[in-house]
Structure 1
Amino acid sequence: MSYAGRIRPVLDRVYVGARSSGRDRVLAVYAEHDLRPGFESSFYFGLLARPMPAESFAAATTYSGADMATQVEQGTAVVDADGTWRLTDRGRAVALAVQRALGEAAAERWNPGPPFDSVLPGPAALPRLADLVGRLLAAGQATGGPAFRALTPVYEPVDASPAVRLTTRLGALRHHRADAHRAAWQAAGLTLEQLRALPAGPERQAIEDETNRRDEPIYQVLDQEERIELLAGLGALP
């Protein structure tokens, strides 16, 4: 299996786990602003840095759908005649609060405390892991698809904690593979509906293999030891 294939479930576990830990905090952010959750919660790391062009928005929302009526009604986002989406001042305030809430929740999740603090990496590992993922994001500028290009470089406050930096960067990194997966099944001549109906077997495995092939180049910026360090470090986080 390629390195991209090996690290994919680790990235997903760490990032999805962090978001799950932060769910109540994020909901509290929206309640405080008297809003319903919107796309700024999923794409804050890019939207805080730049608008999202129509092509990138369509790519990033391929699997989830893209009904933006709520965002427009709530005044958190606007769209121009070209289909480019950008946050309003209200949307930006919410996105910043979401970023902070997810980082705080992740910091708590990744700080195992006694009796586990001597065997799990915890906070001490976060700066190094954030640095490695940051190098991946820079390398991905040459290989990423439309969603990844719109969501990187990521926005990070100057005083961002290591947990905020790592959650922010992991959120963006996952879109490199999402772009690769989308390109793989489209190159196979499938629609999204056909992909979802595809049973386990050689055809589905071929798409997974092609996804790994397209995703693999981003990891070449790291040497073998650094790739092991990243895989092991993320895998050891609580």
Structure 2
Amino acid sequence: MSDEDPLAPYLLAGRVAPAVDRVFTAAMRASRDRGGIELGKRYGGPAAIGFLIDFRTRLAAPYGVVSGAGFAAVTRYADPAECQRVLDKQLAHGMIHRVDGGFAATTRGHAFLQELYQLHAGVTAEIWSGHAERVARLVEALGRLLAAAATDGGDAFHAMAPPHEPDGTPPGVLLLNRLGSLRYHRADAHAAAWQAAGHTARSITALAPGPEREAIEAETDRRAAGPYEVLPPAQRLTFLADLAALPG
């Protein structure tokens, strides 16, 4: 297969990214609007739950800990001092506790995450109703992609993957969380690309569209391409088509 084949891994990585973002973001927005806001209020509101939602795939595990390095990588575009203040608020609400430079969920935090998983199960079953076969194919393919991504993923990816998947996790939750984890493989690839080009988190955020940004995006696609090698060309096309067909 030539490099110009539209299903070549480095080209596929660029095409898959916006589709993953669309499906994941739509499902998270639907969850917020269909019970998520009310659920959050019962546990103290945004000041209490924000990072629990972001890091749910790690913190929901019985002994899940987000390391300091993983937290810094996921929040690399935010102000570190402000992020620590947010963590302090969640600590004060009794939702997390500090562990070896990182943090983990408390008993109350785990109770919230259990309810969040249940909410996501109901919402994804509703919004993806009628797409059971498509969801199942995507879940299977994403499992293979995440396993492959573990070989070259960075700190942000490993803060989110592998996602916590207790026995009996519904397919919609598997799909939602596997999509969310895969996004961080590309996030690490993007960070590596702009760092190699001499940028900082602040300067890449301010970089205007143009040849330099296009070159960084192309390098991001190259660095994010590895996991897609595990899918044969026909499955790459099916994966992209299934993502495109999901509502959201």
Give TM-score, length-normalised by structure 1: 0.90
User: What is the deviation of 1:61?
Assistant: 1.2
Q: Superposition pairs for residues 1-238 of structure 1, below 5 Å?
A: 2-24=11-33, 25-36=35-46, 37-49=49-61, 50-65=64-79, 66=83, 67-80=86-99, 82-111=100-129, 122-238=131-247
CA separation in 1, counterparts of 2:180 and 2:78? 16
Preserved CA contact (<8 Å) 2:77 2:202: no
- Which runs of no fewer than 5 residues in structure 2 stay unpaired? 1-5
Query: Secondary structure, in 3 states, of the residue corresponding to 1:85?
Result: strand
- Which runs of no fewer than 5 residues in structure 1 stay unpaired? 112-116
Query: Secondary structure, in 3 states, of the residue corresponding to 1:38?
Result: helix
CA separation in 2, counterparts of 1:100 and 1:188? 43
Residue identity in the other structure for 2:222: R
Residue identity in the other structure for 1:52: V
Preserved CA contact (<8 Å) 1:103 1:167: no
Residue identity in the other structure for 2:71: F
User: What is the deviation of 1:63?
Assistant: 2.6
Query: Secondary structure, in 3 states, of the residue corresponding to 1:68?
Result: helix
Preserved CA contact (<8 Å) 1:22 1:105: yes
Runs of 4 or more consecutive aligned structure 1 residues displaced over 6 Å after TM superposition: none
User: What is the deviation of 1:64?
Assistant: 4.2
Residue identity in the other structure for 1:78: H
Question: Residue 3 of structure 2 corresponds to which residue in structure 1?
Answer: none
CA separation in 2, counterparts of 1:164 and 1:220? 25
Query: Secondary structure, in 3 states, of the residue corresponding to 1:86?
Result: strand
Preserved CA contact (<8 Å) 2:194 2:216: yes
Query: Secondary structure, in 3 states, of the residue corresponding to 2:142?
Result: helix
User: Superposition RMSD on alpha carbons, in Å?
Assistant: 1.5
